[in-house]
Amino acid sequence: MEFLSQQHDLYAYLHDQTVRMLNRGMTGTEIAEEIVLPPALDHAWHARGYYGSVSHNVKAIYQRYMGWYDGNPAHLWAHPPVEAGRRYVEFMGGADAVVARARHSYAAGDFRWVAEVLDHVVFAQPEHEAARELLADTYEQLGYGCENGTWRSAYLAAAHELRHGAFGTPVATSPGMLAALSPEQVFDALAVRVDGPACWQERLTLDVRLTDTGQAFRLTLRNGVLSHTAVLPDTPADAVLHLPAAGLVAVATGATDPAALAAAGVRVEGDPAALGRLVGALEAPDPDFAIVTP
């Protein structure tokens, strides 16, 4: 019971104290810097930040209630990282000057500050080798000093990217995972892959009839938005797909070849090009995007 009681008190303390300080006008970053756990919780091994951290969780609690905006209008319309980086570096006297001063901060152990200023250099001049190497060294030091594994992994992954390039993510959507999704979840997964600007003018309706469950759905692509409903309108669709629920995997993975569709039990009635138009509106996720470089 003591274990459960301390776990309860840990989360309640983080929540309640964050909201208390929020009501004093403090931002999430300020609260995360000031909040300290009671000794009884701080010394409990199971309440330590081996996975998450007090700092991270406090900011999440703040964002739950206040969103991303911290009340400072200077942050309402800030420049994106590359443009901000160019301006910061110019104001600070150029990339070489920033790196030279950052070395002194590194030697003084102010790794948080080194990471902040060199991040601007790397986004402004990603080819600046001295900045990349010093920032990688800095992230390593921050990582080695982390108690919680998520921050440690983030810092060390950043150091690796700066030295060797992005290494991507091992996460992939397998056919087995797709097969475990409900039809509605499959349609939602397709909707977030629609390249909106590329199909602003596209108008497409597609009915999906699942032959083994009796379910039916209307998919509509309009104004760059793919939506679905289980209520079929009276208006005819551009095409109707007749298929078993398992055949949704073929649709979700972009199959348009008649042989592949037939193998999945998919029969297309109506405009045979409609499914291809839908698939053509989808953008494949990028598993190799960079984190600490432009």
Listing DSSP states for 151-193 in one string gives HHHHHHHHHHHHHH-----S----HHHHHTS-HHHHHHHHHTT
The percent of residues above 90 in pLDDT, for the chain, comes to: 84
* pLDDT surpasses 80 at 176: no
**pTM of the predicted model as reported, rounded to 2 decimal places:** 0.87
The pLDDT assigned to 285 comes to 85
Confidence of residue 287 (pLDDT cuts 50, 70, 90): confident
Q: Which segments of the chain does DSSP mark as H helices, in order?
A: 2-22, 28-34, 39-42, 54-66, 81-91, 95-107, 111-124, 129-144, 149-164, 175-179, 183-191, 248-252, 258-263, 274-280
In this structure, of 106-115, 141-150, 180-189, 253-262, the range with the lowest mean pLDDT score is 253-262
Question: What span, in angstroms and rounded, lies between the C-alpha atoms of 174 and 176?
Answer: 5
At residue 94 the predicted structure's pLDDT band, cuts being 50, 70 and 90, is: very high
Residue showing tokens 């996460």: 171
DSSP letters, 53-94, are -HHHHHHHHHHHHH-S--S-GGGTTPPPHHHHHHHHHHHTT-
Q: Is the pLDDT of residue 171 over 70?
A: no
Short-list 55, 50, 53, 41, CA closest to 8: 41
User: What end-to-end distance do the CA atoms of the chain give, in Å?
Assistant: 49
Query: Domain locations in the chain?
Result: 2-73, 79-164, 175-280
Residue 30 tokens read as 């300020």
* CATH code, residues 2-73: 1.25.40.880
**Sign of the Cα pseudo-torsion (271, 275, 278, 280, in order):** negative
What was the pLDDT predicted at 177? 81
Q: Which CATH class is domain 79-164?
A: mainly alpha
Percent of the chain scoring above 70 in pLDDT: 98
CATH tag, 175-280: 3.30.1050.10
Domains 79-164 and 175-280 share a fold: no
Tell me the average pLDDT across 248-264. Answer: 88
pLDDT at 244 over 80: yes
Q: What is the mean pLDDT of residues 85-105?
A: 98
pLDDT class of 256 with cuts at 50, 70, 90: confident
